[in-house]
Structure formats: C-alpha cells, structure tokens
Amino acid sequence: MTKLILTRHGQSVWNAENRFTGWVDVDLSNKGIKEAEKSGELIKELKIKIDVSYTSYLKRAIKTLTTILKINNLELKFNTAWQLNERHYGSLTGLNKEETKKEIGEEQFKKYRRSWDIAPPPMNAESEYQTLFSPLNSSIPVGMTPFTESLKDTYDRVVPFFESEIKKNLLENRNILISAHGNSLRALCKYLFNISDGKINQLEIPTGNPLVIELDNKLKINKNFYLDKIRSKEIVI
C-alpha cells in the first residue's frame, strides 16, 4: 500500500495578516513554525519510510518540508517545482481579504476567491510585489510565469506535473511527501478525489495538518485521513 502525504505549509506571516499571498515569498509565522513541527511529529508517529519529497519554490512550503524531514531524521534531497506554487492572485496580491470584500462586494469576492475558473484581474508587470517573488522563479521557462490565475489555471499546471513526475514514483510503491499550498493542494485533491467543478469551492485544506492518502497498486484510493483529528476537514466529493 503506497502512501501519498499532502501537507499545506504552516501559517505564513501574510496568512496571519489575512492578506492574499499567492506567489509572494513570505515566511512562516511563529505559529506556522510550530505547525510545521507538529506536522513532522505526526508523520513520525506513522513509522513509515518516506522515499521521495516535493515542494514548491516558496520558502513557506520549503521550510515546512525541511522541518518535517529534520524531525523524521531524513536527509532526503527534496524536489522543488514551480508547478506546485500557490495560485497567483493577480491584482489581489497583498490586499487584506476583509477590506477587499467590503470594496468589491461579497459576490465578486467569492468569485475571485472560490470559483473554479474565474481569475482576478492580472497583476501589473511593474508591481512592487514582483520583486518579492521567489528567486527560484528565474528558472521558470520564458512565457510560463502567470500574472493571475483561477483555480483551473492552477490545476492545469499541478496535475500535469503530478502525472509526469510524481505518479511514476507512486507506481513504483514509493511513499511520497508533498509540502505545498492551499490552492495547489486543492487542485491536486480535485484530481485525485474526482471532485466536481461545482463542489471544489467547499474543499478546505488546513495549514500544518498532513493528509495521508493510501493507494493500491493501480493508484486507487483505499483510505484517506488527516493526522490531526481535531483539525481535520471533510474531503467533499
């Protein structure tokens, strides 16, 4: 039985400030560091071998992963992939969510934040936030860096990466750990659990709470569960 463990990074500084973060490379908050440590301890209790690990280009996910690996006494060379980055929030980047909701109205706010295929207006190419992106982004192929994304756009980069890079390791019965983001993991869960376009907006991925997905040799899901039962969320199907 192969295990795929999905972990959303611990709370970031901008999570704590209730700001749209997207591709801005903010760090973990003090709470987020503790959540990453708790994730590591919870995974350690599983007493399984983690064979391969993946994360995004963003330090909040990388630090969460390296913290988990350290606690589990693993010296794995982890794989970074821009395709696992958080969704790009376009012109909403940096804005306070509550203030934005009041300004544009709750209906439009929900469309931008939770719809399947509606993206916010694009970020200006001269935006100050462009300078706060990960330096690793320089390796992204020319023309591939977005200026805004819907969840569908995020799905369209996450799932092909899963299919081409991660799936082969699962088929070889390797246990995989992915440390990523709320929306990149939502996109992957939509694919894995076959969640409809209409219901994906209901899926919540808690920070710092590993989701274990057990797969058979044909990668059919046999079982799934969050390790922190108190903070677990239902997988809406």
User: Of these residues, 17, 45, 75, 86, which one is catalytic?
Assistant: 86
Length of the chain equals: 237
> In Å, what is the CA distance from 192 to each residue of 61, 73, 181, 215?
21, 29, 16, 10
Query: In which order are the strands placed within the sheet that holds 221-226?
Result: 79-80, 52-55, 176-180, 2-8, 211-215, 221-226
Residue 86 among the catalytic residues: yes
Span between the terminal Cα atoms of the chain, in Å: 22
99 is catalytic: no
Which one is catalytic: 9, 35, 88, 149? 9
User: What is the b/e burial string over 91-106, where b = at least 16 CB atoms within 10 angstroms of the residue's CB?
Assistant: bbbbbeeeebbeeeee
Q: Using alpha carbons only, give the angle 37, 24, 57 rounded to the nearest 5 degrees.
A: 60
- The closest of 189, 207, 115 to 153, measured between CA atoms, is 115
Picking from 62, 53, 56, the residue whose alpha carbon sits closest to that of residue 88 is 56
Closest CA to 84 of 105, 104, 106, 65: 65
Would you name the residues annotated as active-site residues? 9, 86
